[in-house]
Copies of this chain bind each other. A is one copy, B any other.
C-alpha cells in the first residue's frame, strides 16, 4: 500500500475531492489509515468521520457514492487528491453539488447555484 504521513496531523490525512471530468472541487474530508486502505481496495471513497469517530463510506446512506477515477499524493505525502465520479451529482449534505457553494463577495457570502437534490428526501431528515 502507498504510505501516507498520518503522524503529522494526529492520525488523519486530508483528502481533496474533485470531479474527474469537469474538475469542480466537491468537498474535503479526512482519511484514516483504514479508510485510505478501503478507498484503494474498493475504488469507492471511504473517509474518517471526525463527528461520529468511525469509518464513513461516502454515499452509504444516500447511494451517492464516489467512484474513484484517480488518486494523487502530494509532495509531502500528507495530503491526497481524489478524482471521482460523484453518483447522484451532488457531494454536499445540503444537496448542493459542491460543499464550496458560498462565494465571497466583498464582506458577504453569496450562494452559487441551486441544490441538486432535497436533503430531506435523500437523508429522511
Which A residues contact B (CB, under 8 angstroms)?
1-2, 14, 16, 18, 22-25, 27-28, 40, 70-77, 79, 81, 92-94, 96, 99-104, 107-109, 112
How many subunits of this chain does the assembly comprise? 2
| Cβ contacts under 8 Å, A102 to chain B | 72-75, 77
Q: Which chain B residue shows the least CB distance to A70?
A: B103
Q: How far is the CB of A24 from chain B (nearest CB, A)?
A: 7
- Whether the pair A28, B79 counts as a contact (CB closer than 8 A) is yes
Question: B92 and A75: CB pair below 8 A?
Answer: yes
Q: Told that A70-B104, A75-B93 touch, could you supply 16 new A-B pairs with CB distance under 8 A? A: A1-B107, A2-B104, A2-B109, A16-B16, A16-B25, A25-B25, A27-B74, A28-B74, A72-B100, A73-B100, A74-B102, A75-B92, A75-B94, A75-B96, A75-B101, A81-B100
CB distance from A94 to the nearest CB of B (A): 5
Closest to A40 in B: B104
Q: How far is the CA of A112 from the CA of B74 in the complex (A)?
A: 11
